[in-house]
Amino acid sequence: MKKVVIIGGGFAGLNIAKKLSKSSSHQVTLVDQHNYHFFPPLLYQVATAFIEPSNISYPFRKLFQEKGIRFFMGEFQELLPEQKKIVTSSGSLDYDVLVLAMGAETNYFGNEEISKNALPMKSIEDAVEMRNHILLQLEKAVRAESAAEKTRLSNIVIAGGGPTGVELAGMMAEMGRNILTKDYPEANFRLGKIYLVDGLKTLLAPMSQKSQNEAIKVLKNLGVEILLDRLVQGYDGKEVSLSDGSKIEAATLIWASGVMARAVEGVPKDAVGKGRRILVDAHNKVNGLDDVYAIGDQCLQLSDVKFANGHPQLAQVAIQQGDLLGENLINIAQGKTMEPFKYNDKGSMAIIAKFKAVVDLPKGFFKGFFAWLVWLFIHIIPIAGFRNKAKLAFNWLWSFITNDPTLRLIIRPDKKE
């Protein structure tokens, strides 16, 4: 049996692991620094205290029961291609075939001040930290004596007008409208605002103009201040500086403005492209390395004629690449040829607010309540475990009916140096 080591348990890594688990020619080991798989598209709902972290996460060992997949918990450190070995924080592993599927991380574009003081949202820990931080600022705002300090503590600036930024802004606006006045009757939170800042001239840049216009319309109706064609340039923890010279007093800056692929020590420098993505051929094999593949957000594939500049870093790309690479590795073991990857674009969607969403399909666009229902349905299906699906559906239904979820818990309020 060939030893296949997969680094990363996101969409890409999990899909290839499941595919290869059906092959008697491969022994699969999945490596991840966490012991659970989670669903990134719903992190913002954890961050806004709308759903529990357990609703969108599932332990790998529970997931792999009776599938023949082994799990190794450790953080990747180095690739030693000559020895066919990887080094992790928990020890070394040998491989016959290595698959890099570690995804992407937050890109602060070299701005150390922002990386130190802004809140990212790429992991469960980030989402819980954001929830704690926002709730703590609200508690401080209750005790603040001046209107200026109440405003600063209540202001939230979101950098990045893509789907994540739009979804966060909409959810926080709904939270402010339906919850804060009930939770904090002694404070005047009308003083605070939600600012959504983007360097482009519109929101949801990758989506259609109809989706962009709908997002701007809905968010403005919710009271979100949309600042386009300008960038966040600095943040000292109290004041956000914008590229047009203006400043916003705010206790919270959420950074949803960019990502870059996770670095892999041991990959040839000439195999690393834009955004630190690893260059691969049509079969996702890393340029210049034997038996090493990269899939998902971490790879840059330029062979697909419809995506000459590389595929978008989306969940569907990762899922499709994981599935096909699994099939191709099985084909190799059976003496068959490999199929080149071609991305099947099924469209994109974004939720804007309660009962408001936009969906772009290859053959059309729709919005509103039906689009919102489609968004919910599509996002429940991929979540691991029947129990998680049922809990998530119930929690969503209850929260939307009552406009008052009960998850506003400050679990880790203190940071230790």
Provide the domain count of the chain.
2
Average pLDDT over residues 260-269: 96
**What would the mean pLDDT of 329-342 be, rounded to a whole number?**
95
CA dihedral 74, 77, 82, 83 (to 10 degrees): -30
Residues 335-342, mean pLDDT to the nearest whole number: 96
End-to-end CA distance of the chain: 47
Q: For residues 162 and 144, state if they share a domain.
A: yes
Q: Which DSSP letter does residue 179 get?
A: I
Which residue from 102, 239, 106 is spatially nearest to 162, judged by alpha carbons? 106
Q: Are 271 and 193 within one domain?
A: no
pLDDT band for position 363 (cuts 50, 70, 90): confident
**Residues 181 and 233 grouped into a single domain:** yes
Q: Which of 250-254, 315-319, 374-378 has the highest mean pLDDT?
A: 250-254
174 shares its domain with 265: no
- Clarify whether residues 123 and 252 are in a common domain: yes
Residue 123 lies in a domain: yes
Q: What is the rounded average pLDDT of the residues 389-401?
A: 69
Residue that is last in its domain, among 204, 237, 257: 257
Inside any domain, residue 243: yes
Give the residue numbers spanning the domain of 326.
2-33+74-106+259-333
**Spatial contact of 400 and 375, defined as CB atoms under 8 Å apart:** no
Is residue 267 situated within a structural domain?
yes
228 & 319 share domain: no
Are 164 and 92 found together in one domain?
no
Three-state DSSP class for residue 23? coil
Decide which of 277, 310, 333 is a domain's last residue. 333
In this structure, the number of other CB atoms found within 10 A of the CB of residue 69 comes to 22
Rg (the chain; Cα; Å):
22
Same domain, 179 and 274: no
Give yes or no for residue 326 having a pLDDT over 80. Answer: yes
The answer to whether residue 394 is domain-embedded is no
- Domain shared by 80 and 179, yes or no: no
Neighbours of 274 (CB within 10 A): 11
pLDDT number for residue 185: 73
Q: Decide if 239 contacts 245 (C-beta within 8 A).
A: no
> Which carries the bigger pLDDT value, residue 395 or residue 38?
38
Asked whether residue 224 falls in the same domain as residue 267, the answer is no
pLDDT for residue 298: 97
What local confidence, expressed as pLDDT, does residue 169 receive?
95
The pLDDT of residue 231: 96
Examine the fold and report which residue of 223, 257, 291 is the final residue of a domain before the chain moves on.
257
Range with the lowest mean pLDDT among 7-16, 85-94, 339-348, 360-369? 360-369
pLDDT band at 7 (very low <50, low <70, confident <90, very high): very high
CATH number of the structural domain spanning residue 126: 3.50.50.100
pLDDT digits (tens, 9 = 90+) for 59-96: 999 989 888 999 999 999 999 999 999 999 999 999 99
Each residue's pLDDT tens digit, 184-229:
776 665 678 999 999 999 999 989 999 999 999 999 999 999 999 9
Q: Does one domain contain both 194 and 132?
A: yes
